[in-house]
Amino acid sequence: MEQTYAMIKPDGVQRGLIGEIISRIERKGLRIVAMRMYRITDDVARRHYAEHTEKVFFGSLIDFITSSPVVSMIVEGENAVSVMRTMSGATNPNDAAFGTIRGDFGLDVGRNIVHTADSLESAKREIAIHFTDADVVEYTKAEEAWVYE
């Protein structure tokens, strides 16, 4: 099973969307194997968004992501990276399809509710920033026989 990193950003937390987002992940058939709510420090935010350091929006991105609690998760399942990306929708909510998290709840690219890793390599890097191996709880859901062949 593939693992990916997903985060409910400060706007999603403040708007009371935690339960809705987690429910969508679980209803899809994915498994959450680690989860924590916390306030990201400046150092962690800078490591997480390191690829954007030289971009004009970097400072405001760091200010935003550290402004309020987030919910970080390790999500597991077949093709978890691409499934979570599809469920999240386009980065710009105005381009996101209805039925996706961003398409249903977002209006602004700077407040787009969730972050999901864009590749397996990014997922591994982001998981290592936010979690330790001890945080992961391995288990099998009884319904998986009805999700996977």
CATH top-level class of 2-132? alpha beta
Catalytic residues: 115
Strands 2-8 and 70-77: antiparallel
The answer to whether residues 33 and 76 touch, using CB atoms and an 8 Å cutoff, is yes
Domain residue limits, the chain: 2-132
Tokens of 77: 């399942």
User: Which pair of structure tokens corresponds to residue 103?
Assistant: 């398409």
Res 149 pLDDT > 90 = no
Residue 55 CA to residue 115 CA, distance in Å, equals 18
**Site of tokens 């709880």:** 137
Report whether 9 contacts 70 (CB < 8 A).
yes
**pLDDT tens digits, one per residue of 39-91:** 999 999 999 999 999 999 999 999 999 999 999 999 999 999 999 999 999 99
* φ, ψ (nearest 5 deg) of residue 106: -105, 155
83-140 pLDDT, tens digit each:
999 999 999 999 999 999 999 999 999 999 999 999 999 999 999 999 999 999 999 8
